[in-house]
Each structure stands twice: as C-alpha cells, then as structure tokens.
Structure 1
Amino acid sequence: FFEGALGGGNSSYCSGGASGLVTGMTSCTAAFVANNVGNMGISDAYDAWGSVSNGSFFTFGRTLTSDPISSAFGMMSGQTPSLATTISNGYGNYNAGFLQLTLTNWHGLTMKTNFTYSKALGTGNVVQATSSYATVDPWNLHNQYGPQYYDEKYNFNLFFNYEPPYYSGQKGIIGHVLGGWSFSPLFVYGSGFPVESNTATGDTGSFGESNTTYISTYENMVFNNSVPISGSAHFNTYGTNGCGTSGPGVNVSSNPNASCPANGGIFGDPIRNPILGLDGQIGGGGNFRGLPLWNLDLGVTKKIKVTERFSGSLYFDFTNVLNHMQPADPCFNAYDTSTWGVLGCGSNVQANTPRRLQLGLSFDF
C-alpha cells in the first residue's frame, strides 16, 4: 500500500530526496516508519497518516478535509482542519439503590438523610450542542463504553433542623437568651469521580479518529501492570525523571515513578497508550479514581421576641464550617508527566473554598 500511495522507491519521499526526510530507506514502508518515529512511538495514528496525506508526494486522492487542494494556482489550503458531527446513538446504564430516612418534629428535631449506592456506565454522554467531541472507535461504539464521568459509587447526605423546645416562649431574661435558637447542619459525602488518563496524543489520535488539535474524547491509557495509586494525598512527594515534579509536592501516589509513563506511554511503561488493532474498550470517564469528598455547612438562627406584634431574627450561615481543606483531583497526562498524580495538576491543591460566614438580620411586624 505505501509503495503505491507514496510513489515507489524512487519518489522524493521514499528516497529521502525531499527536505527533512530520512535517507537510505529501501522501501516506502520503511521510509514511512522512519519518518514517523515520533508519532508511531506514542501511537498517534492520525498524525502519522496526516504527515503523508498532506504531502505533495501522496499519489492517491485526498483523504482528509485538511489536505491541500490542487488547482491551477498551485496547492491551496484544505477545506477545514476538522469537521465534527454529534449524533445521539450512544447508550448508557445506571443502576442504583437508594435509602432515605425522614424524621418530622420529634422533640424539636426534623431530619432527612439519604444514601445512594450506584453505578453509571455508558459511552460518555454529552449534550447535543457539544462541539469538538469524538468517539474512540466509530466502527465499534462499545469501545467507548466505561464509567461515566459522573459515576460515584457512594453518596450520602444528611440534613436536620433542631429547635430546642426549652424557653420557646422567651419569658424573662433567661428565656430571651436561651430560647428561640435553631441549628441546621448540612453534611454531604461522595466517594469520588473517575479521573481520565490522557494519552500522549492528547486523545483521538491513537486509533486515527480525528485531529487531536481540535477534537477530544474520553480515551484512556492501558495498564501494563498493577498501578500503585492510593485514594489519599501524600505530602512532600516528588518523582524523578520529569514525573510528578510540578506544584507543591502533593501527590495521590507515594511513589509517582512507579506508575508514570516516563517514556511517553510505550510498552515498557507501567501504563501505555492504546494501540490500534490491539486494544479495545478504552473509553469511559477514567480508569483512575479521584479523592473522596465531604463538606459540612451550618446555619444558626436566633429568633428574638420583643412584643406580640414585633420580633426579629439573627442568621449565622457558615459554609464549610469546619474549614476542611478538600484536595483537588489529580492529573494523569502522558503528554505532561510533570503533573502525573499531582493534586490540582500543579496549581491550586484546594478544590473547595475556606470557611465563610454570612450574617443576616430580619424584622417581623
């Protein structure tokens, strides 16, 4: 195929006569491999093909919309660098168990709590208006099937409002001080969301799907062996050889080098780029898991009775009342291994906001 497509052994491409090409090759196939060591090394099938399809030495017809157009005025620019169409032929499955407990005005306590145990799988659903999004394998949509990006195994919520029944009439000085209070905490917990392991090609190049500069997808790397990743933060932890070296040294792995594709995601790395014709079902929101997350908010209200016709209320609303620092999820990018496993991808480690207090006052008459 390459002998015919690239003009045979005496063509400028195969002989190395054109500028910047490897010389001394005995066939067009060997020339193609030699001139695409970078693309082939990171399993970038799209750019490897584009490097010859866009050239004047390509003897077959145009295969990409970005290929130059031959005209009386010479080779003109292609029609478009990319053309993406979003259609609704994906699918998904969501299965869950839901438990809820409600308590209403029991000695001043009203409470609602729920727990969800769930699994969300699918082909990576997006809204119809999404631009620049492709499937991993247009010939087999099931290769896109995996955990949805919003898949969360455990989710727990607890809300209650407690109004102590004591001194509710607010009679006397003690009644005005101790009566009229209510406390309303809100606690949420989640077990964490999937985190994608981005390929060295920036996704969509491994199987030749599309132009990686303009289009992306949920395309994950493949584990060559077990990858030691924990679900907690390790402080003052840096890797070597360019792995997990950015940021303040907070990593999800105690040893970033043990899982890092330091060589760009080749077979010898712990995790590698997917290979066309070998790997399948590499889609989904991610093959790593982000950190568990939790938060506690608190609302405190003090009602003040002045007369039967006139009263007021003080509001103390705390966001993140315990000032809990929720770490951001890590990054796993083969194209930038300096952020490998680094929480916050080398920038801000904290994903939530510090404690905030909002004060309010209202009058009723």
Structure 2
Amino acid sequence: MYETPPVEKNGAQVELVDASGALVHTDKFLAARKAAALAGQAYAPVLGFETTGNLHINYPYTPFKGGISPRVALAWSPNYRSGLLGKLVGEGKTVLRGGFGRSFGRINGVNQVLVPLLGPGLLQPVTCGFTLSNGTCGTSNTLNNVFRIGPDGLVAPLQSPSATLPQPFFPGVGGQAVAGDSTVLDPDYKPEKVDTWDFTIQRQISRKLSFEAGYMGKRSRNIFEEINLDAVPYMMTLGGQTFANAYAKVWTALCFPGNGGRCSQFDILGRAAAIAAVPNQPFFEAALGGTGSSFCGATSCTQALLNNTSVINSTGSTNLFGQTRVSDLWAFLNGRSSWALGKTMLSSQATAINTTTSLGYSNYHAAFLTLKMSDWHGLTSISNFTWSKALGTGQIGQYNSSNQWLDIWNPKASYGPQIFDLKYIFTSGWSYRPPFFKGEHGWKGKLLDGWSVSPFLTAQSGFPIGIGYSESACSACQGFGEMGNTASSGSAFESALPISPFTAGHSAHTAVPGSVIAINGVNVSVGTNNSSQLNIFSDPASVLANFRRCVLGIDTSCGSVGNLRGLNRWNLDATIAKEIKFTERVGATFTVQFTNVLNHFQPSDPSSLTLTTSANFGRITSAVYAARQMEIGARIHF
C-alpha cells in the first residue's frame, strides 16, 4: 500500500508551525511540554498557521509507504479411523484452520480534505473566549466583570478579521484577532494498521449437523485521535509538588469528609471552617508568589486561593475543586498578577489548537461457537454465540471531531471499552418447511405445500454506559484539564466512579417513583421526575449517593466510554412465505414479514444518567425496538 494525501493545486492546505516556521509534530510538542512542566518551567510557544504552498511542501502529511499486507492461512483435516482420536475428529470430518493477515484502514475524506481547511490561514474565525464588561477580551472573567448584552453594549467584543492574512499567520499576536477552535493534520498522520488472526475447529457431527468453534483477535494501531495541544500540564512541579497532587489534596480535604466525596454544598456544613482546615499546598504557595505577594497578601496562597469567590463562592454554585473544573482553575491561576510561571496556555491565540493524529490503538478478542443444521426433517438453522471484548483509546470514528483523550499525557487513561463493546451476542436463524406435503399434486399440493416459517432471534448483553456530570461551562471536558480552554467545543469521556463496589445490576425496574435523600444537609430529589416510573435502578437514590466525580491526582482513569453496563436486549423477527407454481417456469412467492413479532417492549438505556440532574436519574423513557410491524409482499418469477 502506498498512500498519498490529496493535494490542493495552489498549495492552499494549512499546517501548524512554530515561530521559526518549522512544522509542529504532536508527539514532540507534547514531550517538550511535559519535560518543561516536570522541571517547573512553562512551554507554550507562539504557534502559527501556514499553507503548504508557502512552506514549499507537497503534502499536508508525509505519504505512507509502508503498507505491506502479508496474509497467511493454514488448514489441516486429520484422518483417524479408530481409537480416541477417531471418535473425536473422525475420518475427514474435522478441519483445523488458522490464519494471519495485515491490512490498512482507509483514511476518511473528511480528514484529508476538510481538516486542512480548519486552521486559520485560508479562513479566519474570530472569537472571544472570555468577554469583559469593558468591551475587551481577557484570559479569564468572573461574574463581576463578564460582558452582558445590554448593560455593557449591544455588540459582542470581537476583534475585526484581518484584511489580509500574513504567512505564517500568528493569531492573537501583534494585534491579530484570537482564533476559534483550530484543527490541523499532524505531519506524521498515517492510516491505521490492523493485524488480524484466528484459529478455528470445524467438526461434521452428521450429514446434516456440524459445529465450528474458534478464536479471533484484532490488534489495531495508528488509530485516529484528536489532540488538544493546550491541555493542562498537570505534572507541572513547583515546591516539590505537582499541580495534580496539590489539586487532589485540596479536593480530598474539602470533599471527602462529606458523603464519601460527593462534595455537594459543603458550605452548608461550614464553608469557612472547611476551607480553614485545608493544609497549605507547596505548589500553590510557589506558583502564586507566597505570602506577601500581590495575590496572596498577608495570608497563605492556598487560603487566598480558596477564599477567592471566583474559585469558591458563598453559595457553593461555584467551586472549581468540587465541580472538578481543572481547566478553569488553571486559567484562573494563569490570570493572577503574582503567577510565577508566566504564559502556560495557548488560549491567548485560539480557543483550541487541535491536531488530528494517528496515536490511538485498540484490541479486540472474541471466542465463538456456531452450530449449523441442514434440512433435518424440513428444518434448517444456523446459530452463533460470541463472547468478546473490544478495548481501545479511540472510541469514535474518524468522521467525528472535537473528541479528545481524557489525558493526552497518558493514553492508557482513555483505554477501555469501546462504544460497540458487547460481551455476549447470540443470534439464531431458523427456517422450517414442512416436508409432509412435498410431491403432492392437485389442489392439495398447491394449498399445503410450499409453506415456510423463518424466525430470527437476536440477544445481546448491554452496551457500556456511564454516569456523567456537568463541569459548569461544559461536560466531560476538564476533569483532567483535557480542554485547556473550556470555551472550546471539545469534550472527552468522563464517568463518575463508585465510592464502594457497585452491585445494583443492570435491568429495568417498574414502579420506581424515586425518593428524596439528604446529601450534606440538603434534600435532593432522585429519580422523581419519571411519570412512567421505569428506572434502570430499583433504588436510584442509593446509587446516586454511591458515585462521585472522577478526580485528577486521585484517579488514573474515568471509565472510558462507560464503567457500567446498559440493559440486556433481545428481539424476535419472523417471515412466513408461500410458494406457488403455476407452470414449470412460472411461479410466485407471497411473504409476510414481521419485525418484533411478539410485540416485545425492550426498554432502552436511561435517557438521563448524570449526577447533576438527579430528578431524572436513571429514568427510562423510550424503547429500543419499534412496536410490531408487518409487511406483505409478492414476487412473480418466470
């Protein structure tokens, strides 16, 4: 395989470059940013966007030339006429097969054609992530200085687009407007590589009955993944402590004493006392200049931070620690006058700078058993059972955008069940044609012969699901600082984690009206907004109370696409057919096809499963399959 990306004849494809005009490679950029953070230094260089024509390069990414796709397969049919092996494998009745193959994925045209247009340089999106009441854009804002339509004017504070775009173009620098979400192709982008292997045993039991059992595996590398280069470098180390560790210790001090880490309205229990009891954290002391600095004043920097109403307000509606708003906290720190690290964010240039990479990977393993029956007294069938596991870091297809890893510094944090991971799948198709009237002539043969009934059953275990939560400006976007700027449109997968082992199961429960429970002195309605009283949990309140947010510095993963399982499901379809022969060459087939022939109600997974909308928690409001439908058809053949 030799793959070359499409080329725009005028060189109008946008690349990401540094101040010197050199191409930015995602893996090298992240490595440099991480190394600097571990040394207590900021690495947030000025980045620009330049066309391939101006760079004098032919392609937006390096053509792929390593597409060698070997395939090998072996089959062996042993012959044993007697003894134990004769009974097990028989004489020419068993076949053992094995194979291996390597293939390469097809790069979606969206990435090849659209993504090179999403970086400013050809187009110029203008945005303001943090609007201020004085009509300007800032690096952060508060309830006191945010721009409000009406009192502060009728025109949003946006800079005017540039009349011309220099090459390279550096948004947010030298008076240029700040760009919106900007995405480019990584120069090292390549098609995914898939290694597949299998081993099967096929055994003929009788002339009309056989089975096959086997294993199949798939190892995929170079999978599509979008990376936000402005993700918070949480390993930043000052005072001998990382930002992640400081964050985790403050969260633990504020949240864990109250209801197992839910951190809901902790101020009801004594806001001032809870904050005063938080130990000073070396990172915050060093990063904010220590006692006596312009921000900290006469108190410690940890206390100054926690007593700032933009970090934690008096009602608890703003709590950058309790609401796991890591990116918002990092932006707040960056905006303080005594911030010791200088520029650590790229948001002064764009709300997001994303690169489309091939850094993801996945693995699939499955065992299966297939049973076939051929015309046994008019009955033909094939049934298959599969037991599988699909794990990976890239949970969505490459036609998507703005979905990020939970932790770009540690891909394993996103490694977990894929969206399509189904542990068990069973399918069984049958066709029964009564043989009793075969060969009958006259009206009896025309009336009674030629009928067939063909049911088809599917059953499967549940899809991965997770309990979500809001992080104020966004959801699943900043628990690990994955979106450096929450004004961007990006998100990741974050699921709440159980405080104690989860034992509630995953089946639909009827007559569940919900209940009201007290969490840290506040009455909370759980699952009460549910007219059907159908819920995935028999006691949604106890489940809600047993889950907490995923916390940076404490947890290493947030459950990938979901750490729970949705509802098991099954369905039965069927077809009734009648064949009629008019002459030797002319005939007709009449069919009646049923979907969901038993009119079985199969509840779907919950429509609302978040900590922040507790009244809807766990409720089921729809069905997977439509009600029974019937289609009548006729076909004439000649």
TM-score by structure 1 length?
A: 0.82
What secondary structure is seen at the aligned counterpart in 1 of 2:445? helix
Q: CA deviation at 1:314?
A: 0.9
What secondary structure is seen at the aligned counterpart in 1 of 2:562? coil
Q: Which amino acid aligns with 1:274?
A: C
Residue 187 of structure 1 contacts residue 296 of structure 1 at CA under 8 Å; is this kept in 2? yes
Give the RMSD, CA atoms, in angstroms. 2.6
Residue in structure 1 matched with residue 537 of structure 2 by the alignment = 253
Residue 466 of structure 2 contacts residue 562 of structure 2 at CA under 8 Å; is this kept in 1? yes
Cα distance in 2, alignment partners of residues 151 and 332 from structure 1? 19
Residue in structure 2 matched with residue 100 of structure 1 by the alignment = 370
Match of 2:481 among 200, 204, 208: 208
Residue 123 of structure 1 contacts residue 283 of structure 1 at CA under 8 Å; is this kept in 2? no
Per-residue CA deviations over 1:180-234 (Å, capped at 9, x if unaligned) read 1111111111011110222442213122121456222222222111334222211
Residue in structure 1 matched with residue 587 of structure 2 by the alignment = 311
Say which is worse superposed, 234-243 or 55-64, in terms of deviation. Answer: 55-64
Q: Which amino acid aligns with 2:303?
A: A
Match of 2:629 among 342, 356, 365: 356
Cα distance in 1, alignment partners of residues 399 and 584 from structure 2? 57
Structure 2 alignment gaps of length 5 or more: 1-282, 313-318, 517-523
Q: CA, structure 1 residues 80+236, in 2 after alignment: closer, same or farther (shift >3 Å)?
A: farther
Residue 188 of structure 1 contacts residue 295 of structure 1 at CA under 8 Å; is this kept in 2? yes
Per-residue CA deviations over 1:43-76 (Å, capped at 9, x if unaligned) read 2211222234357786754333334xxxxxxxxx
Residue in structure 2 matched with residue 18 of structure 1 by the alignment = none
Say which is worse superposed, 312-321 or 200-209, in terms of deviation. Answer: 200-209
Cα distance in 2, alignment partners of residues 339 and 236 from structure 1? 15
For 1:1-365, list aligned pairs within 5 A. 2=284, 14=296, 26-35=299-308, 36-37=311-312, 38-53=319-334, 61-67=342-348, 79-169=349-439, 171-201=441-471, 202-210=475-483, 211-212=485-486, 214-237=489-512, 238-240=514-516, 241-247=524-530, 248-260=532-544, 269-330=545-606, 331-343=608-620, 348-365=621-638
Residue 292 of structure 2 contacts residue 299 of structure 2 at CA under 8 Å; is this kept in 1? no
What secondary structure is seen at the aligned counterpart in 2 of 1:81? strand
Cα distance in 2, alignment partners of residues 2 and 168 from structure 1? 87
Q: CA deviation at 1:258?
A: 0.3
Residue 229 of structure 1 contacts residue 252 of structure 1 at CA under 8 Å; is this kept in 2? no
Q: CA, structure 1 residues 118+4, in 2 after alignment: closer, same or farther (shift >3 Å)?
A: closer
Structure 1 alignment gaps of length 5 or more: 16-24, 68-78, 261-268
Cα distance in 2, alignment partners of residues 120 and 284 from structure 1? 12
Q: Which amino acid aligns with 1:166?
A: F
Q: CA deviation at 1:281?
A: 2.7
What secondary structure is seen at the aligned counterpart in 1 of 2:302? helix
Per-residue CA deviations over 1:86-135 (Å, capped at 9, x if unaligned) read 42223333222110111222332221111111222222433334311111
Residue 396 of structure 2 contacts residue 419 of structure 2 at CA under 8 Å; is this kept in 1? no
Larger RCO, structures 1/2 (Cα 8 Å, 6+ apart): 1
Q: Which amino acid aligns with 2:499?
A: N
Cα distance in 1, alignment partners of residues 454 and 499 from structure 2? 49
Cα distance in 2, alignment partners of residues 129 and 54 from structure 1? 36
The structure number with the bigger radius of gyration is 2
What secondary structure is seen at the aligned counterpart in 2 of 1:39? coil
Percent identity, aligned pairs only? Answer: 39
TM-score by structure 2 length?
A: 0.49
Residue 186 of structure 1 contacts residue 298 of structure 1 at CA under 8 Å; is this kept in 2? yes
Residue 527 of structure 2 contacts residue 616 of structure 2 at CA under 8 Å; is this kept in 1? yes
Cα distance in 1, alignment partners of residues 350 and 525 from structure 2? 36
Cα distance in 2, alignment partners of residues 63 and 118 from structure 1? 44
Residue 298 of structure 1 contacts residue 318 of structure 1 at CA under 8 Å; is this kept in 2? yes
Q: Which amino acid aligns with 1:254?
A: S
Q: Which amino acid aligns with 2:527?
A: G
Q: When the two structures are aligned, how many residues end up with a matched partner?
A: 333
Cα distance in 1, alignment partners of residues 580 and 335 from structure 2? 78
Q: Which amino acid aligns with 1:252?
A: I
Residue 90 of structure 1 contacts residue 125 of structure 1 at CA under 8 Å; is this kept in 2? no
Q: CA deviation at 1:329?
A: 0.8
Residue 162 of structure 1 contacts residue 184 of structure 1 at CA under 8 Å; is this kept in 2? yes
Q: CA, structure 1 residues 125+43, in 2 after alignment: closer, same or farther (shift >3 Å)?
A: same
Residue 122 of structure 1 contacts residue 145 of structure 1 at CA under 8 Å; is this kept in 2? yes
Cα distance in 2, alignment partners of residues 170 and 14 from structure 1? 99
What secondary structure is seen at the aligned counterpart in 1 of 2:321? helix
Cα distance in 1, alignment partners of residues 383 and 289 from structure 2? 71
Per-residue CA deviations over 1:276-300 (Å, capped at 9, x if unaligned) read 1111132322111101011111011
What secondary structure is seen at the aligned counterpart in 1 of 2:525? coil
Q: Which amino acid aligns with 1:217?
A: A
Q: CA deviation at 1:311?
A: 2.0
Residue 581 of structure 2 contacts residue 588 of structure 2 at CA under 8 Å; is this kept in 1? yes
Q: CA deviation at 1:159?
A: 0.7
Q: CA deviation at 1:335?
A: 2.9
Q: Which amino acid aligns with 1:360?
A: G
Q: CA, structure 1 residues 170+364, in 2 after alignment: closer, same or farther (shift >3 Å)?
A: farther
Cα distance in 2, alignment partners of residues 42 and 55 from structure 1? 21
Residue 118 of structure 1 contacts residue 154 of structure 1 at CA under 8 Å; is this kept in 2? yes
Q: Which amino acid aligns with 1:180?
A: G
Residue in structure 1 matched with residue 202 of structure 2 by the alignment = none
Q: CA deviation at 1:12?
A: 7.4
Q: Which amino acid aligns with 1:231?
A: H
Residue 95 of structure 1 contacts residue 120 of structure 1 at CA under 8 Å; is this kept in 2? yes
